[in-house]
Structures are given as structure tokens and as C-alpha cells.
Structure 1
Amino acid sequence: MHAMPAVHLEPLPYEPLLPLREPEAIDLVVIHCTELPDLAMAREYGERVLYDSGTGNSGHYYIDRDGSIHQYVAPERSAHHVRGINPRALGIELINTGRYPHWLDSRHQAMDELYAQAQIQALVALLRWLPQRLPALRWIAGHEDLDTEQVPASDDPALKVPRKRDPGPRFPWDEVLAAIPLQRLSE
């Protein structure tokens, strides 16, 4: 048994509007990076209402560079974090600049920021504990594994760039997978 890590409960204003689901329906964790400079901006983006339902895009958990874990959406609610997968998935967002602010510019596709060790340690602690709360949890994937769409580059529409690249090439998959009970979802 693994102890629950310290989690700051900070529900988004629209959390009650997100669909409820049974814990047995959740078998996948999707790792994201925010592609934003800090937790405050990630919160601001998460609070934006984008859908007729009165909800927006967000993950369930956000892990800051200092290792602090923030829960914006309860796991029993389906959040909007990856197209076509949300009902079965839990989204974990790592604060990381990624391609910010030129997400789709073909000249800015490198994702150079390293993930902080405190952030990865907090992620591992969360991923060790979550299967105790969600017994069907078996799989883990990166957002880039599930959303492989290529879109026109913002600087040159004749070029195509990945719509999503997170968590990106700097995410330490080997280290994380060696420390958790989940298996990487194969495409």
C-alpha cells in the first residue's frame, strides 16, 4: 500500500458540470505537459469555458515544478483533456513550457525544458497511489501517443506539425515506468 501524496484540492468552477463516471471505467492515465509558463496560467486556461455544457479543457491533476500536486477535477468526473479518450482516462498535467507560446510554428517545435526531479517524484508518488483508489487503472500513455494529428503550421500552412507533442522528448519514460505499476499503452 502506498500513502496518498499531499494533494491540494482546487476544483475548477465548472467541475460539478462535468459528467460523473464509475471508478471502474477509468483504466488509463494520460500524461500531458501544459505548454504554458506556470501553474497560474494553467489554472487560467483551465477555467476558460469553451463548450455549451459550461465546461472547458483541463486535466484532473496538475504537478508544478516544485512537486506540489493540485487537483482541479475529481477523478470520478470526466474532464476534457484528450479527444475521444476522456470517459476512460485520467489526465495529469505537468507544468512545462513545451512549445509556448508558438505551439504550431514549424520553427519552434523543440521542447527543451527538462522536467524537475521534484515534479517527477511527485508524479511517481501519485501514480503509485492512484491504482488503490481506481482499481481498473492499468495503462499509461502520453498525449502525443493518443492524438497524432498533423495540422498546418502557423508560420507556413504548407508545412504540417504535430497538434500535440506532450509530454514530449524530455519526459523520462524509462524512469517513470520502472517505478510504477502501470504499463505503457501500445498504439
Structure 2
Amino acid sequence: MGNRLSKIVTRTGDSGTTGLGDGSRVGKDSPRIDTLGELDELNSAIGVLLAETLPEPCGSKIRECLLTVQNHLFDLGGEICIPGHNSISEEHVTLLEGWAEQYNADLPPLKEFILPGGTRPAALAHLSRTICRRAERSIVHLGHNEAVSVHARQYLNRLSDLLFVLGRTLNRAGDGKGDILWNNPRNR
């Protein structure tokens, strides 16, 4: 494969349009480009999380998991960039479900809502989760007018679940205190 990004400054987007993977051009404010931007932001937020030292005994496994997710998000971006192309399959969704179940099995049941925070890695997992939810809303919005695969939507839904569980796992491993519970007004 040749150099795909040999020239970065092209000036082709100066008019407010951008090229898709199939060669067509769309407005930079189109739902498809919004979705691509949300996926890029999500992948970048996960990258910031991965720049942290993740606590053991789970840190190295979480790192492997999130690196796989970053690659999947690039694949999903390719799917959105090329109308009609499918990259995300049921197997991708099932993998996320398995990880979420695996990490959740070691956590105490939730009896109250939790606050996003605690250790820095956990807080970054929660931030990534909220960006993932926004990307999910964006892909649903795109699907109102253009074809979007069911697996693409499911992937983002499962990924936000996984990021929630990873936030809890990282809090528990990081300082041993675990979740930061919401102070329900009924209990104040």
C-alpha cells in the first residue's frame, strides 16, 4: 500500500466540504461527519486513558482490551466513512459483552448511582463512556436518514457499558476504595 497521507494540507475542505472514502463529498456539518468526529474524539479519549499507568492486577488486561477497542473504532470510522461498507460484526459486539461480564463479575452489586470520578484512570474511563454515549446518539441520528448497520449501533452501546464497568474496576484496583456513591437526597 502506498502512502495514504503523504500530503496533509490539501485545501480541498476550504469550501466546507470533505471527502468520504467512496470519493463523494459532503458538508463538514453533515450527520456522517458529525459521527466520524464523535468516534475520533472517543478514540482520542481512550488514548488519554491509555497514557495513564493503569493499576494492577487488572491494568495490563484492560490496556490490551482498550487497544483492541481503539482498532475497532478505526474500523467503525471506516464503516461510517464509506457508505454501505460494514466492518463491525456481531463478533465485535459479543467480545465487548464478554469483557463487560468478566470485569463486572468481580464488582459488588450497585445499590445506588455512582459519581464519575475517583482515581484518574477511572475518571478518564467515565469521560470516555460519556463521549461514547454521544457517539452512539450521533450514529442513531445518522441512521434516521442513511443506512447504518445494527452492529455499529450495538457496538457503541456495549462499549459504553464496558467503559462504565472498567471505570468501576479501575477505581477498585487503584485505591481500594471503589465507587464514589451519589449522595441521594433521601439519605442526606
Fold in common (TM above 0.5): no
Q: Which has the higher strand share?
A: 1
Q: Which has the higher helix share?
A: 2
Pair member with larger Rg: 2
Superposition TM-score, scaled by structure 2 size: 0.28
Superposition TM-score, scaled by structure 1 size: 0.28
